[in-house]
Structure 1
Amino acid sequence: MIQKTTLPKADTAEKTRKWHFLDAADQVLGRLSTKIAVLLMGKHKRDFCPNVDCGDFVVVINTDKVRITGNKMEDKFYFRHSGYANGARTIPYKRQMEKDSTKVMELSVRRMLDDNRLRDRRMKRLRIFPGTQTQFAAAKTVKATEIKAADIKE
């Protein structure tokens, strides 16, 4: 008996994509971001292959109600640099949440994905909304705590 390794093709991955709707209200930012990253990469699928973009679509609502643990509300900062001299800018977590809570979730998920050519493509499949008013409002949302590893396995 000859055993063969089957590798998923990109076109079959396109056809098998699913949509996951998550409610971020009262969820811990980091734990939710890891679940989202797994769904975007496709690691929950039986035919996962690291060099094929086989992940699913993820829609996250209520990012303005996400919570963090510990003393990060005062201690966590977001850093960016323009590339010019004296171009460093830091913004505290609290001010960033008031300004744009979707950016906090986006940065958290982006930094949990592998830094390779597929990351931008995977991030395009992530839709983030600060409240509940979205074009996906009719869809059934699921609390992230209700998602277990066995639930997302195929």
Structure 2
Amino acid sequence: MKTYIPKNDEQNWIVVDAAGVPLGRLATLIASRIRGKHRPDFTPNMIQGDFVVVLNAAQVALTGNKLDGKVYTRYTGYQGGLKKETARQAIAKHPERVIEHAVFGMLPKGRQGRAMHGRLKVYAGETHPHAAQKPQKVEVR
């Protein structure tokens, strides 16, 4: 009996509208679509997922006290160089990074996860340059 290995020839594009959707629900949907877990022939050691285009990243919803309580930190490499910003400041400055940070934390770490990062396209507004790929609209419940 031969082992079935699925082919990676199907690459779909989907569009997700982030306006008013909680960040966690949005990130789990996107991460599972990028990995390909929605497919019946999902194989963990292959990249079979879709390309995901996220629109209206500036209007993503954060529930509870997360706008002021959630803190994003980064280290500059210098002494005392720990930079902090709240979610409210991050969404005002660069809303794309907030969604990317949430999704990338849910993807596998390592070579395969880094290859999946290129399948996520996030835009702060309504427009995107991927109309030629004919993306399908997906609703977040």
TM-score, normalised on structure 2?
Answer: 0.91
Tell me the secondary structure at the aligned position of residue 79 of structure 1.
Answer: strand
Instruction: Using the TM superposition, give the Cα deviation of residue 139 of structure 1 relative to its aligned residue in structure 2, in angstroms.
Output: 5.0
Report runs of 4+ in structure 1 exceeding 2 Å deviation: 136-143
The residue that corresponds to 1:101 in the other structure is 95
Match of 1:37 among 12, 31, 35: 31
Aligned residue type for 2:3: T
Aligned residue type for 1:52: M
Q: Is 2:100–2:122's contact at 8 Å kept on the other side of the alignment? A: yes
Change over 3 Å in CA distance of 1:26–1:77 after alignment to 2: same
TM-score, normalised on structure 1?
Answer: 0.84
Q: Hey, what's the Cα distance between the residues in 1 that align with 2:138 and 2:104?
A: 21
Q: Is 2:13–2:135's contact at 8 Å kept on the other side of the alignment? A: no
Q: Hey, what's the Cα distance between the residues in 1 that align with 2:77 and 2:37?
A: 35
Q: Which runs of 5+ in 1 are unaligned?
A: 146-154
Tell me the secondary structure at the aligned position of residue 52 of structure 2.
Answer: strand
The residue that corresponds to 1:142 in the other structure is 138
Report the more deviating stretch, 91-100 or 136-145.
Answer: 136-145
* Corresponding position: 1:6 with 2:4: yes
Q: How many residues align?
A: 139
Change over 3 Å in CA distance of 1:70–1:58 after alignment to 2: same
Q: Which runs of 5+ in 2 are unaligned?
A: none
* Superposed CA RMSD: 1.6
Give matches, 1:57-72, under 5 Å: 57-72=51-66
Instruction: Using the TM superposition, give the Cα deviation of residue 67 of structure 1 relative to its aligned residue in structure 2, in angstroms.
Output: 0.2
Report the more deviating stretch, 44-53 or 88-97.
Answer: 44-53
